[in-house]
Amino acid sequence: MTSNLSAVLSGAVAMASFATTLFFVRFWRQTSDVFFLLFALAFAIDAVSRAALGLTHVSNEIEPMFYLLRLAMFALIIAAISVKNRSR
C-alpha cells in the first residue's frame, strides 16, 4: 500500500516539476535569459528523476543515480543564480 502511494506521489511531483519546466521554457523564449533556461533544465532533471523513482522498484531512495541527478539539479540552480548575479 505504501509503495503504491509513494509511486503516486512521485508521479505528482514529477508532473509538477514538468509543468514548472514548461513555465521556465516559456519565460526563456520570451526573454532569452540564460537564468530561465538553466532553471528549466534543472526542473526537467527533477521531473525525470522523480518519474524514474516512481517507475522503478528500488528498496529506498539512497541509490546513487537519484542523488547524482539531484546534485546536477541543484548545481544548475546555483549556476543560474551566480550567472544572474554576476551579470549585474
- For residue 88, the model assigns a pLDDT of 66
Q: What is the Cα–Cα distance from 13 to 27, expressed in whole angstroms?
A: 21
pLDDT tens digit sequence for 12-58: 999 999 999 999 999 999 999 999 999 999 999 999 998 988 888 76
Q: What is the Cα–Cα distance from 59 to 57, expressed in whole angstroms?
A: 7
Rounded (5°) CA angle 11-63-48: 35
- For residue 13, the model assigns a pLDDT of 93
The three three-digit cell numbers of residue 70, written as one number: 539531484
The three three-digit cell numbers of residue 27, written as one number: 519565460
Break the chain into its structural domains and give their ranges: 2-86
